[in-house]
Amino acid sequence: MYAQNKWQIKDPNGIIYPWYTHPFLHILEKWDLENMTWLEFGAGYSTIWLRSRCKYVDSIETDKEWIISVEEECQKNNFENGKIHDLESWDTSEEYLDAVPKNITYDIITVDGIWRDECMIWSLNHLRRNGGILIADNWQQDYVWVNQATEILMNSYKINSFIQPDHRNHMGKPWQTAYWEIDKKIKKLV
């Protein structure tokens, strides 16, 4: 797998970084992920890079061809510390979220797939048990994902937002990757 456009860049080891904003990647590459468990809603180059850094990575993905391609790349590089959960059916958010393994506590969760608003709520509920980090790519980005209710939901937490400075495909809400540190002391959402 090779970088396909200017937004995808390689780390010093030649592995393609997750497709997040470049300013966020500069932050992410400094995080100590060695003992972290990570759940990503949406698999891809991120899966390969995360497996190279994390203890364990689960990915939820709906595109069967993409799953095969990503798994082959992970196996080729001996990054077998994770699983891409292939969905048979994902017509509803419940079916999609039901693919998440029930027996793992995640330290970090990325929302960058389908059913983003529902995944944000699920992720908050999960991370409130033990604390952790919630990352949302394309956060409040024109043409991708703008939802006022989800933005209000996240207002209880300090946002760390990283805009891609040279991104032009927007009407005032540019591409940004955001993350929040979730406190385990807050009660579960409905």
The pLDDT of residue 190:
44
Token output for 28: 């992410």
pLDDT above 70 covers a percentage of the chain that reads 92
- 49 vs 100: CA distance, rounded Å: 20
10 DSSP assignment: B
pLDDT digits over 85-125, tens only? 987 777 889 989 999 999 999 999 999 988 999 999 999 99
The pTM score is: 0.89
Contact 106, 133 (CB under 8 A): no
Q: Are strands 176-182 and 132-137 parallel, antiparallel or unpaired?
A: antiparallel
Angle between helices 64-76 and 45-53 (to 10 degrees): 30
52 phi and psi angles, rounded to 5 deg: -75, -15
Residues composing the chain: 190
- Neighbour count for residue 18 (Cβ, 10 Å): 23
pLDDT at 55: 98
CA angle 164/170/173 to nearest 5° reads: 70
Model pLDDT for residues 122-172, shown as the tens digit of each residue: 999 999 999 999 999 988 876 767 788 898 989 989 999 998 888 777 777
Q: Are 182 and 132 in contact (CB under 8 A)?
A: yes
Q: How many CA atoms lie within 13 A of 185 on its CB side?
A: 2
What is the average pLDDT score of the chain? Answer: 88
Report how far residue 63's alpha carbon sits from residue 67's, in angstroms, rounded to the nearest whole number: 6
Dihedral of alpha carbons 59, 122, 143, 62, sign: positive
Q: What are the structural domains of the chain?
A: 33-182 (3.40.50.150)
Strands 82-86 and 56-61: parallel
Candidates 128, 137, 142; CA nearest to 181 is 128
Contact call for residues 100 and 119 (beta carbons, < 8 A): no
Comparing 142 with 74, which gets the higher pLDDT? 74
The amino acid sitting at 31 is W
